[in-house]
Amino acid sequence: MPGGPGSYGLGVVKATKARAERLQNATGALATAAMAAMDAKLPWFAKLSAQDRSWIGLVAQSGISAFVEWFRDPDEHSSMPTRIFGSAPREFTRVISLHQTVDLVRTTIETIENTIGTLLPPDDVPIVHEAMQRYAREVAFAAATVYAQAAEMRGAWDARLEALLVDSVIRGEADESVRSRASALGWTGAAGTTGSAEVAVVVGRAPATTSTEGGSTVADMVRHAAREAGADALCAVQGDRLVVVLGGTSKPVEIVQKLAQWFGPGPIVVGPVVKDLMSAVASARAAVAGLRAAPAWPGAPRPVQADELLPERSLSGDGHARRQLANEVYGPLTVGDGVLLDTVSAYLDSGGSIEATARAMFIHANTVRYRLKRVADITEYNPLDPRDAFTLRVALTLGRLLNPEPGSSVL
């Protein structure tokens, strides 16, 4: 009966429904006013295509209609603010940024607040205004969620694309499509701060976990550290190994020293520098072979260049390393009368004794020293250094096995 206990609640419900109906009737005018305000207040809005502006108009109208439904019963339609972006295509997040979306929401809310006074009775205005403030907060959270999900999807796709690119480099399948896809991931292909556009492939053991405490992946941290050092980087975890393709640097070892903390324990091998991404397979091949052979040199530096592991790579079955030692170390020593080859061979056979070498060859010790210095100048391996002497020993053995003609190279 009138004036009973439920009459007050019933009156509130009726008043809310009446206000909701009046709001419903005003949605068209509010949407039109919101679009006009965007055009007037947001300079970037006018630069969008007609299709993109149309999508934004649909989102704005959807948001106003959703507000009306939410205003009728906030509890029943509590998820309504999160659904207002459903009318926009996935590409919507690529057209405008999160900051621009916040500007759109702010402009729409301000327009509604300034317009409802002329469209609704005075008694409705403060109630609708308060509801709009609550609703705007929910819309802001919804917008952030949409962009976070879009970023997560792009991140997952970028990670897959990056892994495919690194795999193509490792397998020697790099072509023009690899260059364009790398560019889409931020690979500039231009000279970095070091003034070089060259490329080197780095291989090491993957860390036990590929995620950091902050939620970033190891690949993210490697790319960030490489950019800080002035280089491009593509990164992928392949089973138990971490592969990094560095670009824009002629001194990759210096860059890798800053990235070493993101690798797992064990050796880190840096392939030779090549001219561009299309040629990176040669660097990758040497780096992978070096990682396989690195356990044979326990005292190797970390990182170590693949060319420093030529003896171990040769012994482990790397044909490229064998030919490189035969061509670049043994070959030059055979030019001319072969006296340098004979001298370094006698020196190695005598256990590294200059005096014993001189006696065996019936020459003065200073002559031996002079010839050994010539060997170091020509091959860049010093016979007086134990590590270089080992490399020379392997190179001479391989050269004799492959039996190149004097002055020629092994194919």
**Residue 168 included in any domain:** no
Of 125, 153, 181, the position where a domain reaches its end is: 153
389 & 288 share domain: no
Q: State the pLDDT at residue 180.
A: 66
Mean pLDDT of 267-271: 97
First vs last Cα of the chain: how many Å apart?
106
Count up the domains in the chain and report the number: 3
**Residue 396 included in any domain:** yes
Of 313, 346, 371, the position where a domain reaches its end is: 313
Percent of all residues in the chain with a pLDDT value above 70, rounded to a whole number: 75
Q: pLDDT by residue (tens digit) across 275-301? A: 888 888 899 999 999 999 999 999 999
Q: pLDDT by residue (tens digit) across 46-92? A: 888 888 888 777 777 777 777 777 777 766 655 545 555 554 545 55
- The model's confidence at residue 398, banded by pLDDT at 50, 70 and 90, is very high
Lowest mean pLDDT: which of 117-121, 162-166, 174-178? 174-178
Sheet holding 232-238: strands in order across? 232-238, 241-247, 199-205, 268-270, 304-305
Q: Exposed/middle/buried for 202, CB within 10 Å: 0-12, 13-18, 19+?
A: buried
> Per-residue pLDDT for 273 more than 90?
yes
- The model's confidence at residue 191, banded by pLDDT at 50, 70 and 90, is very low
Where in 40-103 does DSSP place strands (E)?
none
Which domain does 132 fall in, by range?
Answer: 7-153
- The model's confidence at residue 348, banded by pLDDT at 50, 70 and 90, is very high
> Per-residue pLDDT for 145 more than 70?
no
Greatest mean pLDDT range, 34-48, 111-125, 169-183: 34-48
258 & 334 share domain: no
- The model's confidence at residue 265, banded by pLDDT at 50, 70 and 90, is very high
Q: Which of 282, 271, 328 is nearest to 305 (CA)?
A: 271
Mean pLDDT of 103-125: 78
309 & 326 share domain: no
Mean pLDDT of 91-110: 70
> Per-residue pLDDT for 363 more than 60?
yes
237 & 348 share domain: no
Lowest mean pLDDT: which of 6-15, 23-32, 166-175, 317-326? 6-15
What are the residues whose beta carbons fall under 8 Å from the beta carbon of 223, sequence distance 6 or more?
Answer: 186, 233, 235
CATH number of the domain at 272, please.
3.30.70
Q: State the pLDDT at residue 149.
A: 54
Of 296, 313, 330, the position where a domain reaches its end is: 313
**β-strand pairing of 232-238 with 241-247:** antiparallel
More confident residue, 142 or 377: 377
Give the DSSP letter of residue 217.
B
